[in-house]
A = this chain, B = another copy of it.
C-alpha cells in the first residue's frame, strides 16, 4: 500500500456482462467465495440494476468511473453521456476514449470543476505517457505547435509494407498480432490519428477544433512499392500528425509524409510513438515512447486513478 489507496469494485458494465452493481463490492473472481465478507457474485448483483447509467452509478455508489467504451468519431457518444452522468452523480471520471475530448471537452471540464470532481484522460494519447499532465507542470508556457507519430497501427503496417507485404497482408498481420482492430478503417484512414491531434489541440492549445477542420489523408492509397522505395531511398513514409498556431486559430493535418532518415520520426518503428512540441521556452520538447508494454493503456488509467485518490 505504497500510496495508501484502498478500493473496491462496486460496478461493471459491458456488452457481454450487462450492468452489474453492488455497493458492498463485487466478487471479481466469480467464485462467490468471499460472500461472507460482504462481497457478492455477479448474478446476485446484476438483478438489482437496469440498463441505465445513472441507476447503475447510484446502485454502485461509485466514487470513480473508468470509462472505456470504443471510439465514436462522429459524436463521442455514448461516452459523453456516461462521463456527464458520473460527474453529476459526484464521481470522478477517467476515460480511455478520445471522443469525449474532441466533442465535449469544455463542457465536461467545467462540469467536473463545478462539482469538485476530476475528468481525466491521460491514456488517450501515447498510452500511459503523461503528455497532458506534463503540461500541467509547464505553467504559462505557450504551445505554438507540434508534430509526431501517434497511431501505432499504421506505423506497424508501414513497417511491414517496407518488408515487402501488401497493405492487405500487412493489415492481416497487424490483426494477428492484436494491434489492428477487426475494422482497421479508423486507423488506416487516419481517423484515430486525427482524433488524437484534435484532443491535443483542444486541451493543450486550448483551441476547440472540429475533426473536419483537420486535413486528413490515410495510408490506403500508398502502394507497397511506394513504401518500399521510400525507405530504400532514405525517406520512409510515416503517418504524421501536425498542428500549428495561425493568426486565426490552429492549422492541423494528418497525412503520410516522407521523412528524412536523419529525422527522429524516421526511427519510430513498430508500436512506438513520438511527439515534438514547439514552445516559447523550449524550441523543441520531444517525447518518444518506445515499445510500450501490453499494459500501457491500462497503466494510464491507473495513473489517473492515483491522481484522483491523492486529491
Q: Is A303 among interface residues, defined by CB-CB distance under 8 A?
A: yes
Q: Check A292–B288 contact: CB distance below 8 A.
A: no
Q: Check A137–B303 contact: CB distance below 8 A.
A: yes
Interface centre among A137, A287, A289, A302 (most CB of B within 10 A): A137
Q: Is A247 among interface residues, defined by CB-CB distance under 8 A?
A: no
Q: Is A38 among interface residues, defined by CB-CB distance under 8 A?
A: no
- A139 and B305 alpha carbons, distance in the complex (Å): 10
Q: Check B289–A3 contact: CB distance below 8 A.
A: no
A280 (CB) vs chain B CBs: closest residue: B293
Select which of B139, B284, B303 is within 8 A of A288 by beta carbon: B284
Which residues of chain B are within 8 angstroms of A141 by Cβ–Cβ distance?
Answer: 299
Q: Check A282–B293 contact: CB distance below 8 A.
A: yes
Select which of B264, B281, B291, B302 is within 8 A of A282 by beta carbon: B291
Given contact pairs A122-B137, A281-B299, A285-B289, enumerate 11 new A-B contacts (beta carbons under 8 Å): A130-B134, A138-B303, A139-B306, A140-B302, A264-B267, A281-B292, A281-B295, A281-B296, A282-B289, A282-B290, A283-B290
Which residues of chain B are within 8 angstroms of A70 by Cβ–Cβ distance?
Answer: none
Shortest C-beta distance, A263 to chain B (Å), equals 9
Q: Check B140–A137 contact: CB distance below 8 A.
A: no
Which residues of chain B are within 8 angstroms of A138 by Cβ–Cβ distance?
Answer: 128, 130, 303
Q: Is A129 among interface residues, defined by CB-CB distance under 8 A?
A: yes
Which A residues lie at the B interface, using CB under 8 A? 2-3, 122, 127-130, 133-134, 137-141, 262, 264, 267, 272, 280-293, 295-296, 299, 302-303, 306-307
When all copies of this chain in the complex are counted, the total is 2
A294 (CB) vs chain B CBs: closest residue: B281
Select which of B139, B264, B283, B306 is within 8 A of A264 by beta carbon: B264
Which residues of chain B are within 8 angstroms of A3 by Cβ–Cβ distance?
Answer: 139-140
Q: Check A285–B281 contact: CB distance below 8 A.
A: no
Shortest C-beta distance, A285 to chain B (Å), equals 6
A130 (CB) vs chain B CBs: closest residue: B137
Q: Check B134–A306 contact: CB distance below 8 A.
A: no
Which residues of chain B are within 8 angstroms of A262 by Cβ–Cβ distance?
Answer: 267
- A175 and B251 alpha carbons, distance in the complex (Å): 41
Shortest C-beta distance, A234 to chain B (Å), equals 12
- A130 and B139 alpha carbons, distance in the complex (Å): 11
A281 (CB) vs chain B CBs: closest residue: B299
- A-B residue pairs in contact (CB < 8 Å), sample of 20: A2-B140, A128-B138, A130-B134, A133-B137, A134-B137, A141-B299, A264-B267, A264-B288, A272-B284, A281-B292, A281-B295, A281-B296, A281-B299, A282-B293, A282-B296, A283-B290, A283-B292, A284-B288, A284-B291, A285-B289
